[in-house]
Structure 1
Amino acid sequence: MSKEFEIAREFEVDATPEQVWDAFTSGTGGWLWPMEAPEPREGGTGPFGSDVTVWDPPHRYTNRVENVEGISEQTLNQLDYTIEPRDEGRRAWVRYVHSGIFVDDWDNQYDGASKHTDFYLHTLRQYLTHFAGRPVTAFATFDGPEASKAPDAFAAVGRALGVTEDTPAGTRVTVQGADAVVDFRNPYFIGLRTDDALIRFFGRNHWGAPVGVSVHDFAPDADAKADETAWQGWLNGVFSRP
């Protein structure tokens, strides 16, 4: 049965309103995934066929799409971003609201969307704090094999990374021959940050899907295919071990 939902979050970040606005509207893949930038006007076309219903840089941006293409469980999707300056414009306060209509399996859909929102917005803050102004030179995202749908699959990923459920943020680990900082860890998600990349691990097995990985690479010579090949091989290897 169709039912409306709303997921709202507020936070402050050490970035200017203009930097936050650029992160929300440029579509480069610095914190979410690459997408077409919105047409910069009210009434313009936004990402994924949405309509820009509010355009007031760098304060407010809203896009809305009905009959969401490719997502049978959702018929309406709206994203609303409000940005206000703090500390004479050196910092920003942000309110993010994701709303719409889920058609089926409402509780599971809402739980997944809510938990993903927290992780995506954390990644946004990591991007603004550590990589603002650096272009994303390579972005890769992919899923694990069928075995990564198992209930204990994400725990296996954590063990392979050397990251337990109680590993605190700020812990340093070595993965794929690179030093990394654990910037996020809970039973559903793991975030690693290197000097040149944000590497995100998604425990989507909790919602019946494979474990996912995304790599946001800011190195000047980064190669998305090389990133995908390396990390896909690593992830497949986690689930091929006896």
Structure 2
Amino acid sequence: LWSQWRLHRQVTIWEPPFRFGYVEREWSEGAPPVATEITVTSRSGDRCVVRMVHSLFASTDDWDDQLEGFESGWPGFFEVLRVYLSHFAGKKAASFLVMASSEADQLSTWRRLTEALGLAGANVGEERNGPQQPERLSGIVERVRQDDKQRFLVLRLNAPAPGIALIGTYAADGNTNASMALYLYGDDAEQRAADGEPKWRNWFGETFKHPG
């Protein structure tokens, strides 16, 4: 994973645990470089503030919408970080991401996804239990966000293992992508992730199979 990440990125700042920066190139055809800097500032009471700044190196404003898309994708992952630090810090971890493309609009895709997972109409603080197949997702709803560009839900899991599920939809090139990132924690996290990924990949593919 690290080698794949480094393929189009160059680390420019490395001052752990306070600053980290990198430049990303070739993130889209003909796109200018984007620089990202992350800073961590300590606060009282065992708390900290994490700031992320994106800078686009372009001579025109033609890429402004793309930069907005860059930024809008991060809130769900910051929520995952918050839940991890609050409940799972220091535990062994493994993760995987599965995704499928739907020809339906985002709202229809979101409804289909959440209904299939037993998460339709979920509210923060609720405990939800999904269907048995392909694996039961059971846990506490930590965050729900919906707007005209993306929708996502963060579930703090107690089944199929202690962990976090980031489930969402977002518009992409006239279609809608439905995705789930699953973060599992504990001594057996790696094996559980290896067992679960093909099941969920098949499930997403079947659930959002294109007609014909």
Pairwise same-fold verdict (TM > 0.5):
yes
Aligned: 1:213 with 2:167: no
Match of 1:91 among 38, 47, 51: 47
Match of 1:19 in 2: none
Match of 2:14 in 1: 55
* RMSD (CA atoms): 3.0
Aligned pairs for 1:88-167 (under 5 A) are 90-101=46-57, 106=63, 108-136=65-93, 138-144=94-100, 146=101, 148-151=102-105, 152-165=108-121, 167=122
Alignment check: 8 A CA contact 1:81 1:94 kept = yes
Aligned-partner Cα distance in 1 for 2:15–2:30: 31
- Shift in CA distance, 112/134, structure 1 to aligned 2, threshold 3 Å: same
Aligned-partner Cα distance in 2 for 1:173–1:71: 38
Match of 2:142 among 183, 191, 194: 183
- Shift in CA distance, 174/237, structure 1 to aligned 2, threshold 3 Å: farther
TM-score (norm 1): 0.67
Query: What do the CA deviations read for 1:91-131 (whole angstroms, capped 9, x no partner)?
Result: 11221112325899746534432321111211111121122
User: Aligned residues, how many?
Assistant: 193
Match of 1:169 among 124, 128, 139: 124
Normalized per residue, which structure has more strand?
A: 2
Deviation at 1:203, TM superposition (A): 0.3
Percent identity of paired positions between Structure 1 and Structure 2: 24
3-state secondary structure, aligned to 1:134: coil
Query: What do the CA deviations read for 1:136-160 (whole angstroms, capped 9, x no partner)?
Result: 1x3221212x4x2410112211122
Aligned-partner Cα distance in 2 for 1:210–1:64: 26
Unaligned residue ranges in structure 1 (runs of 5+): 1-33, 38-45
Unaligned residue ranges in structure 2 (runs of 5+): none
